[in-house]
Chains A and B, each alone.
Chain A
Amino acid sequence: MKSIAVLVIDDESVICDACELVLREKGHSVDRCLTGSDGLKAIQSGNYDVILLDMKLPDIDGMEILQIIENNHPHPCVLVMTGYSIMSNAVQAMKLGAVDYLAKPFTDDELIEAVEKAYLKTDQ
């Protein structure tokens, strides 16, 4: 598997730490942002394959960020993370362009599988 460039946008640094550890060990590169606005800036300047986006951020709503990414940056694919475990929420995110969703909490294997699948889906 090629190294995937991942950006984690989550206001919980513990979750960023954990995602970074798990994905780096698999040979992927990881950047992180704790707010939505920082995340959007990072997407603009960086070149990411997969965005791991939390749906509940302190400054901008996850759905709104998703829309901005889809409208302005067609390349990175977005995987949403949701703490509500609500299907309708995930379905709405996928309608807006997210490739898949991860219901919190998830294991390392679930994270790796979701990120790699998302990358392969958009790469084809």
Chain B
Amino acid sequence: MTALSDFEGYFQVIRDIQRAVHRRTSVKDVLEVVVTKATAILSAKGALIRILNRETHQFEVRAACGIGERYLHKGPVSTEKLLADPLNYHSVILINDIWNAPRVEYPQQAWDEGVRMMLDVPLAIDQQLVGLIRIYLTKERKFSPNELDFIETLAEQCAGIIERVRFLENQQARFTHMAAHVDKLSSLGRMAAGVAHEINNPLTGILLFSSNMAKKVPAGSQIQKGLNTIMQETQRCKTIIQGLLDFARDVKPQKKKADINTIMRSAIAVVQNEFRLKQTHIDLRLSASMVPILLDKNQIQQVFINILLNALQAVGRNGRITIQTAVVPRQQQISVVIADNGCGIAGHVLENIFEPFFSTKAAGTGLGLAVSYGILKNHQADIRACSEPGRGTRFILQFPITTERPIHREADEIHCCAGY
């Protein structure tokens, strides 16, 4: 029978851990509190917490108490031995015979430290082992059900802390990545606007003189051909710069209530002829429950056309392009997926496709997707791409639903990154 004072002790340990968590100390500090308090209350020699490093698949020591440096420096413990017993992820494993337990990697060193018994307490989140508390005792003894229950509670607390910290770390990493990306693109845009203006001035001189001279030379002469080329190329520069300015300029879209399905149909109508020439099949799966949202329909049509033309260039003859629109009420957004079964985009290229002047096409300006990105950001919409070389590319666009009332209807089935 467990004495009342024992329960008081357990309560204090749990309270101390909670306090450490609420003080927002680092995860390492919280885990140090856990090992120290657990060692004391169980009258153990020491304890340590190993956390699974998801990159190396090894359990690394994150907190230790009462264990000699020599033992700790034995390095990480391999995953296999600890994962050998998946049925026991939520219960304490008592190791009475440290010499013959497969879970004990260094029995000699443990024995030399004076360890005669160990307790392994798995730390699990959703049936996944994320770490382990090991408690070291100098003599074998029995543990009461209440004691074991306390140790398990301790493990649940630790697992919860680890999960929370991992969630925050993931969020932070994602946010930092996005912020860096947005910042990079906006500074490129500002620079581009300045450059564009400076280039338009010399281009004016070139175009005025060349167009004027072309009229003064014999018709059909080499000189006239050359001057015509200069004029054409200057006009091409003008188009590129116009695209760049479109990307850089922070024009508020002229938003009106519009239906994404209608805009998509009109975009397809613009490019239909080119699709027919290349015998590309369009598989159109427009949501039957589409809701109108506030959009600049010209700008969004431009985005769709850009992506459709990219898809057309990626597919060979008889290619297939799948267009899917869907309403996702839970996230209050509309998604548009444009997928092709074309050549795909290599990973290192995929990272740069939204940057101005980034193009892998011989005749590309590298502005199509950069402009599209700018337009979508002005709509608070999101665009991302996933691709697999040889299988195809999938662009996923997500528009926030900007109506006063939330919509409650069945979500359309849409799969973001599976299959091309």
Instruction: List the interface of chain A (C-beta within 8 A of B).
Output: 12, 14-15, 17-19, 21-22, 25, 56, 81, 83-86, 88, 104-109, 111
Interface residues of B in 233-290 (CB under 8 A from A): 234, 237-238, 241-242, 245, 249, 251
Q: Which of A81, A83, A109 contacts B211 (CB 8 A)?
A: A109
Q: Which of A84, A85, A88, A108 contacts B208 (CB 8 A)?
A: A108
- Determine, out of B8-16, B195-203, B322-330, the stretch whose residues face the partner at the interface: B195-203
A-B contact pairs, 12 of them (CB 8 A): A15-B205, A15-B208, A21-B209, A21-B212, A25-B212, A84-B200, A85-B242, A104-B201, A105-B200, A105-B237, A106-B204, A107-B208
**CB <8 Å contact, B197 and A84:** yes
- Set of chain A residues within 8 Å of B193, measured between Cβ atoms: 84
Cα A56 to Cα B200 in complex, Å, equals: 12
Interface residues of B in 391-416 (CB under 8 A from A): none
Cα A109 to Cα B214 in complex, Å, equals: 12
Cα A9 to Cα B225 in complex, Å, equals: 32
Interface residues of B in 173-232 (CB under 8 A from A): 193, 196-198, 200-209, 211-212, 215, 231
Task: Using known A-B contacts A83-B197, A83-B200, A85-B200, determine if residue A105 contacts B245 with beta carbons closer than 8 Å.
Answer: no
**CB <8 Å contact, A106 and B207:** yes
In angstroms, how far is the closest chain B Cβ from the Cβ of A106? 7
Cα A104 to Cα B180 in complex, Å, equals: 34
- Set of chain A residues within 8 Å of B212, measured between Cβ atoms: 18, 21-22, 25, 108
Cα A107 to Cα B234 in complex, Å, equals: 10
Cα A56 to Cα B249 in complex, Å, equals: 17
- Set of chain A residues within 8 Å of B197, measured between Cβ atoms: 56, 83-84
In angstroms, how far is the closest chain B Cβ from the Cβ of A16? 10
- Set of chain B residues within 8 Å of A19, measured between Cβ atoms: 208
Task: Using known A-B contacts A105-B207, A108-B211, A111-B208, determine if residue A15 contacts B242 with beta carbons closer than 8 Å.
Answer: no
**CB <8 Å contact, B209 and A18:** yes
Q: Mostly helix, strand, loop or mixed at chain B's interface? A: helix
Cα A106 to Cα B208 in complex, Å, equals: 7
- Set of chain B residues within 8 Å of A12, measured between Cβ atoms: 201-202, 204-205
Q: A12-B205, A86-B245 are in contact. List 12 more A-B contacts (CB 8 A).
A: A14-B205, A15-B204, A18-B204, A22-B212, A81-B204, A83-B200, A83-B201, A85-B245, A86-B249, A104-B204, A105-B206, A105-B234
Cα A83 to Cα B241 in complex, Å, equals: 10
Q: Select from chain A the residue with minimum beta-carbon distance to B193.
A: A84
**CB <8 Å contact, A105 and B251:** no
- Set of chain B residues within 8 Å of A25, measured between Cβ atoms: 212
- Set of chain B residues within 8 Å of A15, measured between Cβ atoms: 201, 204-205, 208
- Set of chain A residues within 8 Å of B245, measured between Cβ atoms: 84-86
**CB <8 Å contact, A14 and B242:** no
Q: Select from chain A the residue with minimum beta-carbon distance to B216.
A: A25
- Set of chain A residues within 8 Å of B202, measured between Cβ atoms: 12, 14
Q: Which 8 interchain pairs have the tightest Cβ spacing?
A: A18-B208, A14-B205, A105-B203, A83-B200, A107-B211, A105-B204, A105-B207, A104-B200
**CB <8 Å contact, A88 and B204:** no
* Residue from A17, A106, A108 having most chain B Cβ neighbours under 10 A: A108
- Set of chain B residues within 8 Å of A56, measured between Cβ atoms: 197
Cα A64 to Cα B69 in complex, Å, equals: 77
- Set of chain A residues within 8 Å of B208, measured between Cβ atoms: 15, 18-19, 21-22, 105-108, 111
Cα A104 to Cα B249 in complex, Å, equals: 17
In angstroms, how far is the closest chain B Cβ from the Cβ of A98? 18
* Residue from B201, B238, B241, B251 having most chain A Cβ neighbours under 10 A: B201
- Set of chain A residues within 8 Å of B196, measured between Cβ atoms: 83-85
Cα A12 to Cα B199 in complex, Å, equals: 12
Q: Select from chain A the residue with minimum beta-carbon distance to B202.
A: A14
Cα A21 to Cα B208 in complex, Å, equals: 9
Q: Select from chain B the residue with minimum beta-carbon distance to A12.
A: B201
Cα A25 to Cα B237 in complex, Å, equals: 27
Q: Which of B203, B211, B231, B251 contacts A104 (CB 8 A)?
A: B203
Cα A58 to Cα B193 in complex, Å, equals: 18
Cα A22 to Cα B216 in complex, Å, equals: 12
- Set of chain A residues within 8 Å of B237, measured between Cβ atoms: 105
- Set of chain B residues within 8 Å of A108, measured between Cβ atoms: 208, 211-212, 215
